[in-house]
């Protein structure tokens, strides 16, 4: 079974998770970055550091096959 990690700065990707669950039996790892929310107030450099660090830790812990970043690039 594939592991899909969904990374979001808030709760907006819950609809994405529901859609994935309708078409796949994959294990879903959901990470809502509430510690650094909202992303809109951060610089691109800050966001890059936050996201890279978070993704690295999550990949080490969960080793997902697929990683979905939900609107994290739009800050």
Tell me phi and psi for residue 28, to 5 degrees.
-110, 125
2 lies in some domain: no
Question: What percentage of the chain has pLDDT greater than the value 70?
Answer: 93
pTM (two decimals): 0.81
Structural domain of 57: 8-74
Q: Is residue 1 part of a domain?
A: no
60 has a pLDDT exceeding 90: yes
Q: Which residue has the tokens 């890059």?
A: 48
Between vectors from CA 7 to CA 20 and to CA 45, what angle results, nearest 5°?
A: 150
Q: Tally the domains of the chain.
A: 1
Asked, as a colleague might, if the bond just before 71 is cis with ω within 30 of 0, I would say: no
Mean of the per-residue pLDDT values of the chain: 89
Report residue 75's pLDDT band, with 50, 70 and 90 as the boundaries: very low
């Amino acid at each position: 079974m594939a592991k899909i990690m969904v990374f979001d700065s808030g709760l907006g990707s819950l609809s994405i998770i529901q859609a994935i669950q309708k078409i796949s039996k994959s294990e879903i790892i959901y990470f809502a970055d509430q510690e650094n929310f909202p992303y809109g107030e951060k610089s691109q450099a800050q966001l890059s550091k936050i996201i890279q660090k978070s993704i690295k830790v999550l990949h080490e812990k969960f080793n997902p096959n697929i990683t979905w970043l939900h609107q994290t690039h739009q800050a």
